[in-house]
């Protein structure tokens, strides 16, 4: 009797394993597994969003640096003319603009004469605003603008 009982127990175990394997392959089993997976994923996603919302708020952005104070215009050099013929207009320009925050004037031959008769001339100015070096230029009969406000 014993061997028969062992045989029946083994057969029942084999049958149960085969039935379980068949259940895993069934549509209902696979659909239930998928729904469980989707529900678990959605629950974890909602939990993550809730934890993110509870997190400490981000630190505010750092304030912009204060504006750098710039000094008044101080002309370093000013040359008027062409690449081959020019004159030094530094003193004339400096008298007109030094000490001001902004300045503009028309470029003419009055600055230091006409160094290149008949040619198109340009005024090139190098100036300093506090510790910041800047340049400005303009052609003859145009207006040049120097600015130390920013």
**CA angle, 139 as apex, 94 and 85 as ends, to 5°?**
80
**Is position 23 within any domain?**
yes
Domain count, the chain: 2
* Cα first-last separation, the chain: 106
Residues 80 and 25 in one domain: no
Global pTM? 0.55
Q: What is the pLDDT along the chain (150 residues), one digit of tens a residue?
A: 566 666 666 666 666 666 666 666 678 878 888 888 888 888 888 888 888 777 667 778 888 887 666 789 999 999 999 989 999 999 999 999 999 999 999 999 999 999 999 999 999 999 999 888 999 999 999 999 999 887
How many CB atoms sit inside 10 A of residue 66's CB?
6
Residues 86 and 134 in one domain: yes
**Is position 85 within any domain?**
yes
Residues 97 and 129 in one domain: yes
**Is position 61 within any domain?**
no
DSSP 122-146: EEEEEEEETTEEEEEEEETTSEEEE
Asked whether the beta carbons of 136 and 128 are under 8 A apart, the reply is: no
**Is position 14 within any domain?**
yes
Residues 77 and 135 in one domain: yes
CA 47, chain centre distance (Å) = 33
Residues 49 and 77 in one domain: no
Residues 86 and 124 in one domain: yes
Residues 24 and 81 in one domain: no
Residues 123 and 80 in one domain: yes
Which domain does 106 fall in, by range?
Answer: 73-147
**Is position 38 within any domain?**
yes
């Amino acid at each position: 009797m014993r061997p028969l009982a062992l045989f029946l127990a083994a057969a029942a175990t084999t049958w149960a394993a085969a039935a379980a394997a068949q259940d895993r392959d069934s549509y209902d089993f696979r659909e239930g597994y998928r729904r469980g997976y989707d529900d678990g994923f959605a629950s974890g996603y909602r939990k993550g969003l809730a934890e993110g919302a509870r997190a400490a708020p981000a630190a505010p952005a750092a304030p912009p640096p204060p504006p750098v104070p710039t000094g008044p215009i101080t002309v370093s050099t000013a040359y008027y003319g062409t690449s081959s013929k020019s004159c030094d207009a530094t003193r004339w320009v400096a008298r007109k603009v030094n000490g001001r925050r902004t300045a503009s004037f028309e470029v003419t031959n009055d600055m230091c004469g006409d160094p290149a008769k008949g040619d198109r001339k340009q005024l090139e100015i190098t100036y300093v605003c506090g510790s910041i070096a800047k340049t400005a230029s303009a052609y003859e009969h145009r207006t040049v603008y120097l600015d130390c406000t920013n």
